[in-house]
Structure 1
């Protein structure tokens, strides 16, 4: 009998707790309907959609060659035989340029941290980092 009373008391407490948590205080409120509509189709990818988020598309072969040549002209160790990595870093730098368009010191600081090599683990210094920012901007994301 004690077990039945305890179960009944527990049920009462739970019901009271649920009633207290209700966001609708009116007693005549209709129950809330679940959303039974089907979700809409996903939006189609918009060309350049990544560019609006600050990440341009990967460069074509000619643009990539120009970018790599420009970096190598600044310092051959920037690329250090890892062209794809240099492009990825450049695309990430484009996002910084996009997010901070008028903050050249921030862009330069991020390039100095982002572009490193085994011989330059702390970056290439502010002067070369500023040149890298310009190379990235001109070759990978000129619309930013």
Structure 2
């Protein structure tokens, strides 16, 4: 079921609040179903629409709301920052071209502008191609 109940002004107010975090509850579909487009589009949309296009968030603030702030809030101590000794979960993207392309009709369309995804220090996606690396794991608070 898809319900359109969000108001853009409310979204802008929520994501600009200093304590708000940015995440997604998009999950892969089971039994050949279609996921919500937010599974592939949440983070690129924030970076394109709310950082680059409208300037509602600065790039450092948006990245903090997607990484360090949630890791800290949920007690996941080895993630969220780039620092020696922490897990290397990184996304290399072009801030000028990143764009979400997922739609309700094609919810698994990858975003433009993402060059590489590194999970636990292993390259998982490079130039839009999945490498086969399966370095992820379920995360729990420390």
TM-score between both structures, scaled by the size of structure 2: 0.26
Higher strand share: 2
TM-score in terms of structure 1 length? 0.26
* Higher share of residues assigned helix: 1
Larger radius of gyration: 1
